[in-house]
Amino acid sequence: MQIQQTRANGLARIELNGRFDFSSHRLFRSACDAAFADAEVKGVEIDFAGVDYLDSSALGMLLLARERAASSGRQVELVNCRGTVGEVLYIANFSKLFTIS
Amino acid sequence: MTTASASSDLESGPEALRRLEAEVAELGAENARLSEYRRSNEEEEKRAKEMLDRMTEIDPSLAGHVSSWMGPASRFSGDIVLAERTPSGSVVAFLGDVTGHGLAAAFISVPVIRTFTAMTRKGFSLGAIAAELNAAAFANLRRDQFIAGTLALFDPDSGMVEVWNGGNPAALLVDEDCRLQARFRSEHLPLGVLAPADFDPRTKAFLVEVPCQLALVSDGITEQRDASGRRVGELGVLDLLKSTALPARLAALRSKYTEIPDREDDCSVLLLDCAAGGGRSLAEGIAASPPLPAPAEAGGGRLDPAWELTLKLGVDALRRADIVPLVSHVVANLQPPGHDPGRLHVVLAELFNNALDHGLLQLDSRLKDSPDGFQIWMDKREARLNRLSEGTIELSIAAGAVAGKGERFHVRISDSGGGFDPDAVGAATGLAHGRGIALVRSLADSLEYHAGGAAAEVVCAP
């Protein structure tokens, strides 16, 4: 997986590309670390447009990211969740925890 | 370990030879250590596997109701397939999919397996079992781990199918003519994600009118790809269920979705037969009251109590607790070892539910008479219970010897509500409702109603 990060108006955008599974653990974590370490960042947007697959360990990483965000009063939003990615998030009912679009 | 200079051609002579010998000896010792490590590792794995297999073994008496197949990606499965019978003769099945796979995933499923077995055997409701599984998972799993889980209950007496699905592919209910009767999609987060206080135990229910089979699958099945690279998906599973007659379904699912080499994820399938047959569970599970011995000394039938238990429940307690299993549990501890909770559990459940549903909540049984009726009933029941502002249910059980009869339970349940007409409720056999009272009569020595249906009194054998 590849990750690109951008910042604008207090929003950190993390763009994921490729397979989001356990092998992306370190990469994803460091992207989140960077976003959360920045006091300017009020919210985090994770962009799934380029993700063609995610597994249950990826869902686990999202749960951790959400917990860390919540502890500093921030929100995590999941955007561009289409196809299989959207379906996996839907079956796991992650819409009860995240804003998903 | 150092692998080194055997090939060094700069050294020569006895010094190099000695070193070579030492290295060879060290290599041999290392090899022996590795072999020993592998042997003990395999032995430990074998024992762990035996333990897990024992814990997840499905009671052979359920063989006619539940069939399952598991295809682990490695030696240990991160999927869990369980089934147990409740004291009142319903069957509860569970299909879980733990984050990850292999030994670690199998290992973290242990507390959940134990909780499922204990809760179901004690007769807790499906929602209460789900809440307890979630609490066990939440307490034992890391924050990035969870268990996608589906719980399904089938009550052969009423024909009710009830499902709680958190994170698994939809459970599909298909009849003998291969028509889809109901679909229970995931409506909840997986187990272990939410803290117990945030957990949502609500279930969905459906009433079967013809014999059906409920299929639960893990996403290892739906995420597989066929030869042309298309995901199997829920539709793939449904197509297969629709195109195969009942007895051959498991074999068909197994051969179609599990012959794939180098599976990456654990695959599992559980099929639960849902054929309503009034009283079938009783014939299998609980015998009717044993025939009374001849009344040699007609002693008036008074009970000499070995113990007596009295409970008075207000609105808050009624909302909070799943009363019948709690009482059953206390009784099991008061009775001599070997006590079979089945009969008393059924009697208590029927009388208590009548007192709550008809007495306090004033629900109309006719609500249940359509396939979606159970869902409507449950929704109304929940709404009314939440709104209930006053009311009590009193329950007392005494156990002891009755002259001429032997050991008996004397059960009294009354409610502060408007009562109900037991004859009207009991007359409607053949419908989804009204079997309860007939059931109690068939299990007990006697059933009497007082106070316009607001108080019921039963004498039954243990």
Classify domain A2-100 at the CATH superfamily level: STAS domain (3.30.750.24)
Indicate the CATH number of B49-280 among 2.60.40.1120, 3.60.40.10, 1.10.10.10, 3.40.50.300. Answer: 3.60.40.10
Q: Domain limits of chain A?
A: 2-100
Selected residue with higher pLDDT from B427 and B98: B98
* Sequence-distant (≥ 6) Cβ neighbours of residue B21 within 8 angstroms: none
- Identify which of B459, B353, B360 has the alpha carbon closest to the alpha carbon of residue B412: B459
Percent of chain B with pLDDT over 90: 35
Q: Domain limits of chain B?
A: 49-280, 287-460
| Nearest chain A alpha carbon to B185 | A91
Please state whether B461 falls in left (phi above 0), alpha (psi between -120 and 50) or beta.
Answer: beta
- Over 90: is that where the pLDDT of B287 sits? no
Across chain B, mean pLDDT equals 83
CB of B203 within 8 A of CB of B130?
Answer: yes
> Which one of A63, A84, A90 has the shortest CB-CB distance to B193?
A63
Same fold, B49-280 and B287-460: no
Phi, psi of B172 (to 5 degrees): -115, 130
**pLDDT confidence bin for B422, thresholds 50/70/90:** low
Does this complex have an ipTM over 0.90?
no
pLDDT digits (tens, 9 = 90+) for B317-350: 998 888 988 898 899 888 888 777 788 888 898 8
| Nearest chain A alpha carbon to B218 | A91
Residue located via tokens 């199918």? B161
Q: Hey, of A91, A94, A98, which one would you mutate to test binding to chain B, going by the most B CBs within 10 A of its CB?
A: A91
CB-based contact, B219 to chain A, within 8 Å = yes
Q: Two tokens at A1?
A: 């997986």
pLDDT of residue B277: 64
pLDDT of residue B130: 97
pLDDT of residue B284: 41
Mean pLDDT of B403-413: 87
Question: Which residues of A lie inside 8 Å of B (Cβ-Cβ)?
Answer: 22, 55-57, 59-61, 63-64, 67, 84, 90-94, 96-97
**Whole-number CA gyration radius for chain B:** 28
Chain B CB contacts of A84 under 8 Å are: 231
pLDDT of residue B423: 66
Mean pLDDT of A57-75: 91
Class of domain B287-460: alpha beta
> Cα distance from B79 to chain A (closest Cα, Å)?
13
Selected residue with higher pLDDT from B379 and B148: B148
pLDDT of residue B259: 61
| B231 DSSP assignment | B
The Cα–Cα gap between B135 and B111 comes to 10
Selected residue with higher pLDDT from B368 and B207: B207
pLDDT of residue B297: 35
User: Taken in order B189, B144, B92, B257, is the CA torsion positive or negative?
Assistant: positive
The Cα–Cα gap between B382 and B361 comes to 10
pLDDT digits (tens, 9 = 90+) for B2-33: 445 445 555 668 888 999 999 999 999 999 99
Interface list for B 140-159 with A (CB within 8 A)? 142-146, 148
- Over 60: is that where the pLDDT of B249 sits? yes
